[in-house]
Amino acid sequence: GAVVSQHPSWVICKSGTSVKIECRSLDFQATTMFWYRQFPKQSLMLMATSNEGSKATYEQGVEKDKFLINHASLTLSTLTVTSAHPEDSSFYICSAQLLPAGTEAFFGQGTRLTVV
Amino acid sequence: RKEVEQDPGPFNVPEGATVAFNCTYSNSASQSFFWYRQDCRKEPKLLMSVYSSGNEDGRFTAQLNRASQYISLLIRDSKLSDSATYLCVVNIGNDYKLSFGAGTTVTVRA
């Protein structure tokens, strides 16, 4: 199946700093990628839809100025958590899907962010 | 009401047992349905898609009931390696967005 690579797999940062997470589709082009956040024992919550060459679409309640998304190429989307705080500590996962819409989603390995 | 709801479990079963659980979805326009497996601190991985006629993959059987808006997963002859959280995932409409259930935890004991 298709491969999505996410990096880093874990990161610890100090409050107030910014962290960039990369999501790459290795063997296919993804015009659309998705960023999720998952807290312990909870569901994956969609944060935003990353659109190649245009602005990301954020879900209600997600601050676009805090979670910056850039999708500059068909194989790379980045999520930057700006001015991180301990409450931003979570598991962040990206995904991409092949056409047509509604087919299997392929997930990156996830990034466990801990803000201290 | 959540778009996708699951019994969180946990379902604790002995090896060799059969375990089954459901997932309900709220949007009758939902078009695609999946079961994903997620191990602790890992990304979800596709277990199987769910087709209207129901489908089977080895020890796993998935069913879709559109009238009652639920899908089910049945695991036969449970193995220790089946211990995981099973996520019900629904695609609504013609875009790529997926809605996730919170997951059903299954623990298979020796």
Q: Average pLDDT in the B15-31 region? A: 93
- A49-53, A90-94, B89-93, B98-102, range with the lowest pLDDT: B89-93
Q: Which residue has the higher pLDDT, B107 or B95?
A: B107
pLDDT at A30: 84
Q: Which of A41, A46, A104 lies at the smallest CB-CB distance from B46? A: A104
| Cβ contact B87–A32 (<8 Å) | no
Beta carbons of A101 and B95 less than 8 Å apart: yes
CB contacts, 8 Å: A41 with chain B:
8, 102
Q: CA distances (Å), A85 to each of A12, A18, A21, A98, in order?
A: 11, 10, 16, 34
Full DSSP string of A58-89: EPTT--TTTEEEEEEETTEEEEEE-S--GGG-
Helix, strand or coil, per DSSP, at residue B82: helix
Q: Residue A101 above 60 pLDDT?
A: no
Whether the predicted pLDDT of B94 surpasses 80: no
Q: What phi and psi, each to the nearest 5 degrees, are found at residue B89?
A: -130, 135
Mean pLDDT across chain B: 92
Residues in chain B, overall count:
110
Handedness of CA B32, B4, A8, A21 (dihedral sign): positive
Residue-level length of chain A: 116
Tell me whether residues B43 and A108 touch, CB distance under 8 A: yes
Sequence letter at residue A4: V
Kindly report, residue by residue over B39-55, the tens digit of the pLDDT: 988 999 999 999 888 89
CB atoms B95 and A105 under 8 Å: no
Among chain B, residues having any CB pair with chain A shorter than 8 Å are 4, 8, 31-32, 34, 41-46, 49, 87, 89, 91, 94-98, 100-103
